[in-house]
Structure 1
Amino acid sequence: MNNKELFIDGFLDRISREFLQVSDPKKNKDLAFEIFSISAVLDKPFQEVFDNVIIKDKSGKRSGSKDGGIDGIYFRDLGDYYEMLVFQCKNVPGLKDNEINKFRNDVREIFSEGNRIGKKNIEDLEAFINEYKSISLSGKYIEIKCYFIYNGNNIDKDYGNNEPTYNLYHNPAIDYYIYDSNWVYDKVRSVAKPHRKTIEFTFKPQNSNFSLLDHQALYTFSISNTRAANFRVLALDICELMQKEININGSFDTLFEENIRQYLGTSKFRANREMNKTLNSENSVLFPFLNNGITIIAEKITVPKSAQDGQYYLPVVNPQIVNGLQTSRVLYDLYKIDPSKLKEVYVNIRVYETTEPSLVEKITDATNTQTPITYKDKISNKDFKEFAKTVFFNKGIVYITKRGEGFNSSSQKNIRNQIDSETVLKFWYATFYEEPETAKNSIARVLQDIYDAATSENNPLKILFDGNIDSPIYKQFIAVYQIYHLIQICKHKMVEDNKTYLMRYEHLLS
């Protein structure tokens, strides 16, 4: 038993809403499958696939009537030569020989043979044909790869022709691939969980100005397999790191993946407001005395043996800010307004080289001391939360897991509803776990039990909260949300009915 239908159908529903092409729901679902399956192959965002890969007519719509039997084309520049990935995607459970043969022949006739037979109804391919010809004229070799993707199973007792057809036509040796829904589902893991591109950054630790005899800029040590470096940098270094994250990964959110909170802003969170006030005052030079600094986990750090031209450099690979999100965001917000205000501002930095999850969690817990850490914070980064977010998001619901996340406007774009994870977990505990009294009286106990389930190997609930994509918990969460939503509707109706009753009662008394 797995969650294939839950995730794939959820993605198709979501993509159908976001890329509405026609009034026919089935046709929109078919287009959604094209976008989804091609995204899985290319590992690219849905929007980019729709904009640059899907075959569309001159009005920008996916009509499908003049595409030559091809759903998408992507040219991959590999330096000495190009790959041309050609797609046909069928949102159907069965494989058909004639469809596979037609696709293969269409690609060969239109591109390899230059459409010598004068194939009609290929106007929507014009831009791709021109690009193919342009690359060919440049003298670069083009290797064509064909992908036939369908929403069925290669082995299916109800579609006995699937397996022999797959075995006959799937042949990577000649660049012809047939992928079924199981292959697509395996790719959901990478689609559902954010994939961060590698970040390489070099910090510039500032020399000590304490002693004229010793300008040492950092101190380092190691315990077991973990190495640590402590130093002071200009606040501009942190802002440049955040900007680099945006440039490479499209957002600085991936820099804070391991952080247990979201940005809380300056209007409602006093500590951030005071921080911003200090940075905009003559006391900004005192910032490293007034601030706890920033703690970073990195996959690799390279400790310099000596200074270079009087300056130390500390390269890091894939840094993650696990403590200091509020500091980083306040600095960056000011940097975007007026970078000159940060020229003389310094920040204390601690960098640890480790990929051990348990140590990362210990460091995160120990360094987040400005505000109390709750069990809600502790479970906010567990793997099951990421898949739960995806399931809810596909249904048009923001599933809020971190403090401050509900105020993030970007997370609410095009979303109808939102719900706090605490509410879902509380209702789950009362219904599926059958502990309504505990759920009602102690949310702290509920969250502690779920944290234990996610972290302890011997916990009986481990199978639900271990972060496996096939856990039954995601379907249970959706059921819980539906119960909660129904209760809210009933409560609202009761309030409205009471208002109506009171108005009638007052009318009788008047």
Structure 2
Amino acid sequence: MCNSAYQNNGITMTCDKVEHGPSRRSPKIKLTNVQIVNGGQTSNCLFEAAKESREKIEDVILLVRIIETTSEDVKMSIAETTNSQTPINVRDLRSNDRQQRQLEEALADLGFYYERKSGQHSDKPSSNRVDALAAGQAYLAFGVGLPETAKKDRGRVFGDLYDTVFAEDLTANKLLTSFRLAQLIAERKEISGKRLRRTLPSRLERCQ
């Protein structure tokens, strides 16, 4: 079991709305659209401990900070600030953006599983999965017109070029077209590479 379940720095959450009952002592609260922006490891440790035995976490006292805001910019700023000492994948920070959620919903209507986070739909057929980073990289190349940047520095897709790639006018169809085009090129490249490797020995023999 993970010992950090009992030695943690708490959890920071954001939510659109906080509602609490009339009780002044241990009131129950209701959170709408909750996101854990810091403390994911702590949450996982507690979850794993609870799976072994709920008694193990009954006496755990956990500091939880809840911030009520509907501003995506504020949520992003809080996530970046609270994770400054514990680096987190930039893609994960962006995964709950309104644009990312809208693309997931739109692609679902088209029969595809959009992975805002890496491996989010690992249990689904690979042919119907659309990885956000790979799709963004493809759109940066074909939709935005920066193929060299997309190839050599794809980390910028969720970095300084995020608003360029995932602009307001980006539709699910545009993203999907670029993603499938990139897949097709990769498949053709792999086929050509296999053919070349099969024929290369015989060509070398004829040259000797």
Indicate whether the TM-score tops 0.5.
yes
Answer whether contact 1:426 1:439 (CA < 8 A) is retained: yes
Distance 1:425 1:442 in 2: 12
Q: Cα deviations across residues 197-230 of structure 1 (Å, max 9, x unaligned)?
A: xxxxxxxxxxxxxxxxxxxxxxxxxxxxxxxxxx
Q: How does 1:26-175 map to 2 (within 5 A)?
A: none
Distance 2:155 2:56 in 1: 42
Distance 1:316 1:396 in 2: 33
Answer whether contact 2:113 2:121 (CA < 8 A) is retained: no
Mapped pair 1:420 → 2:137: no
Of 13, 16, 25, which residue of structure 2 is paired with 1:296? 13
Normalized per residue, the structure richer in helix is 2
Q: How does 1:365-384 map to 2 (within 5 A)?
A: 365-369=80-84, 371-384=86-99
Return the letter of the residue paired with 1:376: R
Of 152, 167, 187, which residue of structure 2 is paired with 1:441? 152
Return the letter of the residue paired with 2:14: I
Return the letter of the residue paired with 2:78: I
C-alpha displacement of 1:422: 1.7
Mapped pair 1:315 → 2:29: yes
**Where does the alignment leave 5 or more consecutive residues of structure 2 unmatched?**
none
C-alpha displacement of 1:483: 1.3
C-alpha displacement of 1:291: 1.6
User: The residue matched to 2:62 in structure 1 has which SS?
Assistant: strand
Partner of 1:480: 178
Answer whether contact 1:398 1:417 (CA < 8 A) is retained: yes
Distance 1:317 1:394 in 2: 28
Answer whether contact 2:121 2:129 (CA < 8 A) is retained: no
Q: Cα deviations across residues 125-179 of structure 1 (Å, max 9, x unaligned)?
A: xxxxxxxxxxxxxxxxxxxxxxxxxxxxxxxxxxxxxxxxxxxxxxxxxxxxxxx
Of 191, 197, 202, which residue of structure 2 is paired with 1:499? 197
Return the letter of the residue paired with 1:383: R
User: The residue matched to 1:381 in structure 2 has which SS?
Assistant: coil
Distance 1:319 1:386 in 2: 12
Answer whether contact 1:303 1:315 (CA < 8 A) is retained: yes
User: The residue matched to 1:406 in structure 2 has which SS?
Assistant: coil
C-alpha displacement of 1:492: 1.8
Residues 319 and 431 of structure 1: is their aligned pair in 2 closer, same or farther, counting only changes over 3 Å? closer
Q: Cα deviations across residues 424-479 of structure 1 (Å, max 9, x unaligned)?
A: 222212222222232233324443344345xxxxxxx8xx723xxxx453222122
Partner of 1:489: 187
Return the letter of the residue paired with 1:488: A
Residues 341 and 296 of structure 1: is their aligned pair in 2 closer, same or farther, counting only changes over 3 Å? same
C-alpha displacement of 1:414: 4.8
Distance 2:102 2:68 in 1: 27
Distance 1:437 1:507 in 2: 37
Mapped pair 1:359 → 2:74: yes
Residues 347 and 503 of structure 1: is their aligned pair in 2 closer, same or farther, counting only changes over 3 Å? farther
Q: CA RMSD in A?
A: 3.3
C-alpha displacement of 1:493: 0.5
Structure with greater Cα Rg: 1
Q: Percent of counterpart pairs with the same letter?
A: 26
Answer whether contact 1:400 1:421 (CA < 8 A) is retained: yes
Distance 2:43 2:172 in 1: 33
Q: Cα deviations across residues 88-136 of structure 1 (Å, max 9, x unaligned)?
A: xxxxxxxxxxxxxxxxxxxxxxxxxxxxxxxxxxxxxxxxxxxxxxxxx
TM-score (norm 2): 0.76
Answer whether contact 1:396 1:416 (CA < 8 A) is retained: no
**Where does the alignment leave 5 or more consecutive residues of structure 1 unmatched?**
1-275, 454-460
C-alpha displacement of 1:395: 4.9
TM-score (norm 1): 0.35
